C-alpha cells in the first residue's frame, strides 16, 4: 500500500447529496492516484455507493488504488488487482448482532414511534423511512424515496423549525431511558439520521490503514453532530472541510502539493 491514503466522504464531497459523481473530479483524482491510495468512506450502503460512484469504480487510472468503505467503513472492499476483477468484500459487521435482540427491537420501536410523530407534521412522506444497512441504521423522516423537490421542501422546514436538532436530542434521551447506552445518533446528510454502535463512526475505517499517512476530506466535519466530525479530528492536521465537489477539486490540488513536498 502507498505511504499516503486520502479518504473522501461521498455526499457533499465527491457528489451533490444523492447525485452521481461529479465528473469534474475525474482528472484531479487520477492525478492524486499517482501519488496516493484513495478511499471513499460513507454512511451510505454499498449499492448506493456503486450507483453514485460507478465512473470512479470503473476508471482504470483510479480503481487499482481505490478502497471502498461503505457504512462508515464497517464494510471494506479491497482494490482489485486484475482488470476483470471487481472490488472484493473483506469485512462486514452486523449492528443487530452487536446490540443483541432485545436492545435491537427496542431501538426499532423508538425509531418507529418517532416516525409516527413526524408523520403528523406538514412534511413530505415518500416511503422507505428506515434503511437497515447491517452495520448502520439510516432513518429518514420524509423517506429515502423523496424527490429533489420534496427534499428541498424538508430542508427548508428543518432549517426553519430546527426539527432534526430537536429530534436528535429526543432520540438520545429515549435511548438513555431505555438503557441503550452503546448507540450513537448523528445527523446524516441533509434529511436523515445515522444510528450505529458507539465507535462505528467513520474512524472505524482507519484500522485498515494503520501503517499509512491518512488524509481526510469531508463536508460535515465542523460540528460534533456531523458524521464526518470524528474522523476529521482524528486525521488532523491532514483534514480538510469542503463546501462541495467544486471546492474538493481545489482541496485535492492542495493535498497533491503537500504530498509532493513530503516525498
DSSP secondary-structure letter at 200?
-
Please list the residues that pair with 91 across neighbouring strands: 76
Residue at which a domain ends, from 173, 197, 221: 197
**Is residue 88 domain-shared with residue 206, that is, in the same domain?**
yes
Rounded to whole angstroms, the Cα distance separating 239 from 261 reads: 17
The pLDDT > 70 percentage for the chain reads 100
Domain endpoint, select from 177, 197, 217 = 197
CB within 8 Å of 180: residues ≥ 6 apart? 99, 103, 106, 107
CATH of the domain at 142: 3.30.1240.20
How many domains is the chain built from?
Answer: 2
**Catalytic residue set:** 9, 11
- The 10s digit of each residue's pLDDT in 178-235 is 999 899 999 988 899 999 999 999 999 999 999 999 999 999 998 888 899 999 999 9
Cβ atoms within 10 Å, residue 234: 16
Note whether 34 and 102 are same-domain residues.
no
| pLDDT, position 188 | 86
Residue 189: what are its φ and ψ, rounded to 5°? Answer: 60, -140
Do 52 and 168 fall within a single domain?
A: no
Q: What angle do CA 131, 96, 67 make, to 5 degrees?
A: 65
Do 78 and 166 have their domain in common? no
Region 102-124: mean pLDDT is 97
Section 80-89 average pLDDT: 91
Same domain, 204 and 138: no
- Whole-angstrom distance, CA of residue 196 vs CA of residue 95: 7
Q: What is the mean pLDDT of the chain?
A: 95
Domain holding 232, by residue range, is 4-93+200-262
Question: Do 171 and 155 have their domain in common?
Answer: yes
Asked if residue 184 has a cis previous peptide bond (ω within 30° of 0), the answer is no
186 and 220 within one domain: no
pLDDT score recorded for residue 1: 63
What CATH number corresponds to the domain at position 22? 3.40.50.1000
> 107 and 89, same structural domain?
no
pLDDT higher than 90, residue 18: no
pLDDT value at residue 226: 87
| pLDDT band per the 50, 70, 90 thresholds, residue 242 | very high
Ranking 154-158, 230-234, 259-263 by mean pLDDT, the lowest is 259-263
- Cell numbers at 240, concatenated: 480538510
CB 195 within 8 A of CB 185: yes
Q: What integer is the mean pLDDT of 160-186?
A: 95
Percent of the chain predicted with pLDDT > 90: 90
The residue behind cell 438513555 is 176
User: How many Å is the maximal CA-CA distance in the chain?
Assistant: 58
Domain ends where: 197, 216, 243?
197
| pLDDT for residue 2 is more than 80 | no
For residues 89 and 209, state if they share a domain: yes
Q: Are residues 139 and 160 in the same domain?
A: yes
> HEC string of 112-172?
HHHHHHHCCCCCCCCCCCEEECCCCEEECCCCCCCCHHHHHHHHHHHHHHCHHHHHHHHHH
Same domain flag for 159 and 102 = yes
Query: How high is the pLDDT of residue 179?
Result: 95
Task: List the one residue out of 187, 196, 213 whose CA is nearest residue 72.
Answer: 196
Q: CB of 180 within 8 A of CB of 204?
A: no
How open is the CA angle 102-105-110, to the nearest 5 degrees?
Answer: 125
- Tell me: do 182 and 204 sit in the same domain: no
Amino acid at each position: 500500500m502507498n505511504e499516503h491514503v486520502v479518504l473522501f466522504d461521498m455526499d457533499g464531497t465527491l457528489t451533490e447529496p444523492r447525485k452521481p459523481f461529479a465528473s469534474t473530479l475525474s482528472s484531479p483524482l487520477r492525478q492524486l492516484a499517482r501519488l496516493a491510495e484513495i478511499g471513499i468512506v460513507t454512511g451510505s450502503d454499498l449499492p448506493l455507493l456503486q450507483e453514485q460512484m460507478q465512473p470512479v469504480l470503473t476508471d482504470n487510472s483510479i480503481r487499482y488504488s481505490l478502497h471502498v468503505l461503505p457504512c462508515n467503513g464497517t464494510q471494506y472492499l479491497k482494490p482489485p488487482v486484475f482488470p476483470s476483477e471487481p472490488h472484493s468484500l473483506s469485512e462486514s459487521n452486523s449492528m443487530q448482532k452487536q446490540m443483541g435482540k432485545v436492545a435491537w427491537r427496542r431501538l426499532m420501536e423508538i425509531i418507529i414511534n418517532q416516525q409516527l410523530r413526524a408523520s403528523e407534521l406538514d412534511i413530505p412522506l415518500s416511503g422507505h423511512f428506515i434503511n437497515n444497512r447491517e452495520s448502520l441504521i439510516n432513518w429518514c423522516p420524509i423517506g429515502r424515496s423523496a424527490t429533489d423537490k420534496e427534499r428541498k421542501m424538508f430542508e427548508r422546514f428543518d432549517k426553519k423549525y430546527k426539527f432534526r436538532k430537536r429530534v436528535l436530542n429526543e432520540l438520545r434521551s429515549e435511548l438513555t431511558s431505555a438503557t441503550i447506552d452503546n448507540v450513537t445518533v448523528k445527523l446524516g446528510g441533509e434529511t436523515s439520521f445515522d444510528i450505529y454502535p458507539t465507535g462505528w463512526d467513520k474512524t472505524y475505517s482507519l484500522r485498515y490503514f494503520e501503517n499509512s499517512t491518512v488524509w481526510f476530506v469531508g463536508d460535515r466535519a465542523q460540528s460534533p453532530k456531523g458524521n464526518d466530525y470524528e474522523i476529521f479530528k482524528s486525521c488532523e492536521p491532514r483534514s480538510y472541510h469542503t463546501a462541495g465537489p467544486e471546492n474538493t477539486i481545489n482541496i485535492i490540488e492542495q493535498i497533491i502539493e503537500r504530498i509532493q513536498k513530503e516525498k
